[in-house]
Amino acid sequence: MITTVLVANRGEIACRIVRTCRELGIRTVAVHSDADGNALHARMADAAVRLPGAAPADTYLRGDPIVRAALAAGADAVHPGYGFLSENADFARAVREAGLVWIGPPPEAIEAMASKTRAKKLMGLEPLATVTADDLPVLVKAAAGGGGRGMRIVRELAALDAELTAARAEALSAFGDDEVFVEPYVEGGRHIEVQILADTHGTVWALGTRDCSLQRRHQKVIEEAPAPDLTAELTASLGAMAVRAARAVDYVGAGTVEFLVADGRAHFLEMNTRLQVEHPVTEAVFGIDLVALQIRVAEGAALDDEPPRARGHAIEARLYAEDPARDWAPQTGTLHRLAVPDVRVDAGYADGDTIGVHYDPLIAKAVAHAPTRAEAVRRLAAALERARIHGPVTNRDLLVRSLHHEEFTTARMDTGFYDRHLSELTEPAPDPYAPLAAALADAHGRSRFGGWRNLPSQPQIRRYLMAGEEREVRYRHTRTGLAADGVRVVHAEARLVVLEVDGVQRRFEVARYGDRVHVGPTALTALPRFPEPTADHAPGSLLAPMPGTVVRVAEGLAVGAAVRAGEPLLWLEAMKMEHTITAPAAGTLTALHATPGRQVEVGALLAVVHSPE
């Protein structure tokens, strides 16, 4: 029996594993980087071991110190979670050689499926050896990749060499392996996967399907189980192929076999030899705990001959600290409050925690389960609408709009959903009464005669930045309280404002953190009475849109070089995502301050492109 598990991971998956271990009476040990010294997963575990450094390559991606940490803390098992070393056969082997239980598949099975090219050959498939115009569009993929890293869609033959070079560079940076391959790109396909679970006694469960078609940058955003509107024949075929893949490598534990489904046909993508981020929707539908089952399988327990029956429908939304309207730019800062009501929430942060620059921007996952798909969609959308998420910009509004979109509600979505609809889904639609509510909450308790202000009979003025636009609001102090034109102020205090608009009362919860004000789901920035002077940058200056690390500069780029409008100049990596910085216009590069490895803050000057008048 396992008594103590070291969780070789961080964030929400580490917290999720710790919770299950507690329920099973198993002690836990966390590992943490210097950047994660006070992270939630380190606080939740019974013990924690420091991994010196901050970058993943120095901490969570180093197997030897993690094994030493497990031995030093008295652990007898290691759970890798997902990402980092979860699909590293050498790490799995090192854990076993140290006399520890590896809560995952055999190293040989990981090796067999670790390379997507080998996995495809195992399933009787071959990547494209050569590419012609007739093959377009094609997809360049990293053989050791995952999470959309090292992946490029190529629609023009002339662009293939450059995309291969870029994919190799990103794959080497992310996985330490620059092998890439090319396969046909299936337009309008749905990303469907099958959860499997296998024991050491020869039983393999196929735990239904999941649809993960809503993706940004080839990374999943909304997932659900079961995949809607699949025929019984196709569902059975997907399950059979997944079981065949597991048996082909003598698989043990939890894993996922992924497919692209188009025109009623399934195309094998890969097998992930680990737990998936979206595993909670399968847990909800089947009424199981996959982490608990992983542990029991690792202890040698046998699964029942047949899996439990599926019931109802479940949908998961990934809440990211990112701005979808700004090319999914990751966001950092203090998460002052996180509260999503009435649904399951798997979070890696708690109120007051800081979202930093070093790791994936996933804050939490919200999961709704209901008897039908329509009810699950409604329940999750309502929970996200009522959620209180105070701090950095998130994708919450995008998630709500996605769940309400007709293509999603009618199950007609595919992997191109955000390519088609991102602009409409990110169109600003702030509450027009939010600035007034913020101003009235701020004014609560102030004496109308105290401090510097206009005559009491004159309106008070407050200005806020909302959805990128400045909004000015006016209100007055009267003998009966606060008042504003066009509405009736029913109630006003620091945290709650009630306004009556056209005979309907509306309640606004208000929270303020410095100059940042949250009015329900709407975020505002309180502007000072007198604007502060801003830094003056030369025309054509390229500023860092986010904190991150310069990972590459375009080959041969130097001061004095002529550049084209839209030409990629350099690449920033932030929170496991790579962002391209392009020339704003045709001109001459007159300054270059970016060098590979340099860490930059938001607004840092990277380069200057001078354009002729």
CATH number, domain of 295, equals 3.30.470.20
State residue 528's pLDDT score. Answer: 85
Q: Are residues 245 and 374 in the same domain?
A: yes
Q: Are residues 290 and 344 in the same domain?
A: yes
State residue 575's pLDDT score. Answer: 66
Within a domain: 463: yes
Q: What's the pLDDT tens digit per position in 211-245?
A: 999 999 889 999 999 999 999 999 999 999 999 99
Within a domain: 300: yes
Q: Are residues 408 and 315 in the same domain?
A: yes
Range of the domain at 142: 116-184
Within a domain: 111: no
Q: What is the CATH number of the domain that holds 145?
A: 3.30.1490.20
Q: Are residues 160 and 11 in the same domain?
A: no
Q: Give the end of a domain, one of 399, 425, 451.
A: 425
Within a domain: 50: yes
Q: Are residues 179 and 195 in the same domain?
A: no
Q: Give the end of a domain, one of 73, 103, 133.
A: 103
Within a domain: 374: yes
Spatial neighbors of 367 by CB under 8 A, at least 6 apart, are: 280, 281, 284, 314, 315, 316, 343, 344, 345, 346, 380
How many domains are contained in the chain? 5
Within a domain: 569: yes
Q: Are residues 355 and 469 in the same domain?
A: no
Q: Is 118 helix (H, G, I), strand (E, B) or coil?
A: helix
Low-confidence ranges of the chain (pLDDT < 50): 448-454
Interatomic CA distance for residues 449 and 429, integer angstroms: 36
State residue 445's pLDDT score. Answer: 54
Within a domain: 108: no
- Look at residues 604, 35, 31 and name the one whose alpha carbon lies nearest to residue 354: 35
Q: Are residues 465 and 520 in the same domain?
A: yes
Provide the 8-state DSSP code for 456. T
Q: Are residues 311 and 378 in the same domain?
A: yes
Within a domain: 94: yes
8 A C-beta contact, residue 337 and residue 391: yes
Q: Are residues 471 and 372 in the same domain?
A: no
State residue 92's pLDDT score. Answer: 98
pTM: 0.86
Q: Are residues 285 and 406 in the same domain?
A: yes
Q: Are residues 410 and 451 in the same domain?
A: no
Q: What is the CATH number of the domain that holds 548?
A: 2.40.50.100
8 A C-beta contact, residue 608 and residue 541: yes
In b/e form, how buried is each residue of 202-230, taking b as 16+ CB within 10 angstroms?
Answer: eebbbbbbbbbbbbbebbbbbbbbbbbeb
State residue 146's pLDDT score. Answer: 67
Q: Are residues 258 and 350 in the same domain?
A: yes
Q: Give the end of a domain, one of 371, 403, 425.
A: 425
